[in-house]
Amino acid sequence: MTEHSVPLKRPMDGQSGLPYSSLTTRIAGRGATAWAVHGRAMRLAEQGRDVIFLSVGDPDFDTPSPVVEAAVDAMRGGRTHYVGMSGIPELRAAVAKRHKAVTGQHVESENVVVMAGAQASLYSTLMCLAGPGDEVIAPEPRYATYEAVVGACGATMVDVPLRGERGFHIDPDDVAAAITPRSRVLLINFPHNPTGATITADELEGLAELCRKHDLWLVSDEVYATMVYEGKHLSPCTLPGMADRTVVISSLSKSHAMPGWRLGWAVAPGDLPAHLGNLAQCMLFGTPPFIQDAAVVALSREFQEIDKMHEEFRHRRDMVAQRINAMPLVSCRPPEGSMFAMIDVRDSGLSSIEFATRLVDAEALSILPGDGFGPSAEGYLRMSLTAPRERLEEACDRIERFVTGLNR
């Protein structure tokens, strides 16, 4: 240590040392109680318990091998250097084509911005659409990161409750009651995480009418668009007057079992793609080209294993709902989409966190308490369907043993 160097001071208990920006508070979120159950299960597994983890939405399927080989070939071929901030032309074109196939809306490559997963796409979009003094309206319960993303851009989250008695379907009248002069963005996510609810044509038109009337942006998180079990996927971007105010967020994480690849996108109107590209330049500086090359293969070919994966999730949904509904004290409305099922435990007399904590301790089964996603999910648990059927059968056996014990 030189005579001019100053040793770093260790922060005293209860102090943080040098000050942090207010951002650190805004991005903290309130979902820690839900993940405490997952952490408890991790510790049990470290102790040698046979824990079944149904607390994370990570597909238990491999990425199709041609996609993996495309990435390997690209890396060996030197595709490890900088490329354009918004994505390579081939991938943007492939995303535009897929977007039309899934939603029905025709867009150009210039409307597509490629980013590191749907999460980065959502973050960047809200950073460009809302700021301090603005309000972002979102259904609640909600995906765990939404609150922190809205906080990061300095806006205020306004919750609209989704009620279990309605199958967690959104009510446009509830959204209308939440709109104020500060409302800037309506953020929706259907098929819905955590509840598995979809959205009807009437519900979607009701939301679109509110956006047109109050001049709101509509950000539609559609990462589960290909995982719809009842009816078909509906997107607001095709409704009258919505093309110029709708941003669609999606990725390959769920559709192609590629969550660790971090490849997603925003399909956006007007000047927004240029703004997103500017943000990508100062934050990400682009997405690795070898991953983008692999994504082109993923979007340009049909894979039997992907079709089988989607069909397997349907079988798992049906099996879990049937098993749960045959048990005392609990019930399960079959999810209409996504890879999650909501288990209603209100008749057990336990809160969500009590039920989940006692279940993991007694049966080594990790399921997240619903209230970690918002107060409207109190009395429910979110069960991920991301395990083989025989493992899900064992999970249902463990739930049945637990509730049978409660019923004595």
* CATH number of the domain that residue 393 is part of: 3.90.1150.10
pLDDT of residue 231: 86
Q: Are residues 238 and 335 in the same domain?
A: no
Residue 332 in this model has a pLDDT that exceeds 60:
yes
Give mean pLDDT, residues 284-297: 96
Return the half-sphere exposure (C-beta side, CA atoms, 13 A cut-off) of residue 372.
Answer: 24
pLDDT of residue 10: 46
Please state, in angstroms and rounded to a whole number, the distance separating the CA atoms of residues 33 and 41: 13
Residue 15 in this model has a pLDDT that exceeds 70:
no
Q: Are residues 343 and 256 in the same domain?
A: no
Q: Are residues 248 and 156 in the same domain?
A: yes
Write the CB contacts of 311 (distance below 8 Å, at least 6 apart in sequence): none
Per the domain annotation, does 397 fall within a domain? yes
- 211-267 pLDDT tens trace: 999 999 999 999 999 999 988 999 999 999 999 999 999 999 999 999 999 999 999
What CATH number did the domain enclosing 284 receive? 3.40.640.10
Per the domain annotation, does 196 fall within a domain? yes
Q: Are residues 273 and 195 in the same domain?
A: yes
Residue 12 in this model has a pLDDT that exceeds 50:
no
Q: Are residues 147 and 221 in the same domain?
A: yes
Please state, in angstroms and rounded to a whole number, the distance separating the CA atoms of residues 377 and 75: 45
Per the domain annotation, does 10 fall within a domain? no
The last residue of a domain, from among 265, 283, 300: 300
The last residue of a domain, from among 270, 300, 330: 300
* Total domains in the fold of the chain: 2
Q: Are 142 and 148 in contact (CB under 8 A)?
A: no
Per the domain annotation, does 6 fall within a domain? no
pTM for the model: 0.92
Q: Are residues 146 and 181 in the same domain?
A: yes
Under DSSP, is residue 365 helix (H, G, I), strand (E, B) or coil?
Answer: strand
The last residue of a domain, from among 300, 326, 360: 300
Q: Are residues 111 and 255 in the same domain?
A: yes
Fill in the DSSP letter of residue 386.
-
- 123-143 pLDDT tens trace: 999 999 999 999 999 999 999
Q: Are residues 132 and 273 in the same domain?
A: yes
Q: Are residues 153 and 223 in the same domain?
A: yes
Q: Are 218 and 210 in contact (CB under 8 A)?
A: no
Per the domain annotation, does 4 fall within a domain? no
Task: Please give the residue range of the domain that contains residue 191.
Answer: 66-300
For residue 114, the cross-strand partners are: 265
Any idea how long the chain is? 408
Per the domain annotation, does 351 fall within a domain? yes
Q: Are residues 311 and 265 in the same domain?
A: no
CA-wise closest residue to 174 among 141, 199, 139, 216: 139
Q: Are residues 331 and 197 in the same domain?
A: no
pLDDT of residue 34: 66
Q: Are 265 and 115 in contact (CB under 8 A)?
A: yes
pLDDT of residue 352: 95
Residue 281 in this model has a pLDDT that exceeds 60:
yes
Please state, in angstroms and rounded to a whole number, the distance separating the CA atoms of residues 101 and 238: 12
pLDDT of residue 32: 60
How many C-beta atoms surround the C-beta of residue 196 within 10 A? 28
Write the CB contacts of 242 (distance below 8 Å, at least 6 apart in sequence): 208, 211, 212, 218, 236
Please state, in angstroms and rounded to a whole number, the distance separating the CA atoms of residues 108 and 111: 6
- 78-126 pLDDT tens trace: 999 999 999 999 999 999 999 999 999 999 999 999 999 999 999 999 9
Q: Are residues 365 and 392 in the same domain?
A: yes
DSSP conformation letters of 339-361: SEEEEE-GGGT--HHHHHHHHHH
- Tokens, residue 344: 């209603």
Residue 9 in this model has a pLDDT that exceeds 50:
no
73-100 CB burial, b ≥16 within 10 A, e <16? ebbeeebeeebbbbbbeebbbbbbebbe
Please state, in angstroms and rounded to a whole number, the distance separating the CA atoms of residues 134 and 121: 20
- Tokens, residue 99: 């977007």
Can you say how many angstroms the Cα of residue 349 is from the centroid of all Cα atoms in its chain?
Answer: 30
Alpha helix positions (H), 215-288 = 272-283
Can you say how many angstroms the Cα of residue 125 is from the centroid of all Cα atoms in its chain?
Answer: 15
Q: In what order do the strands lie in the sheet with 246-251?
A: 112-115, 264-267, 246-251, 217-221, 183-189, 135-140, 156-161
Per the domain annotation, does 158 fall within a domain? yes
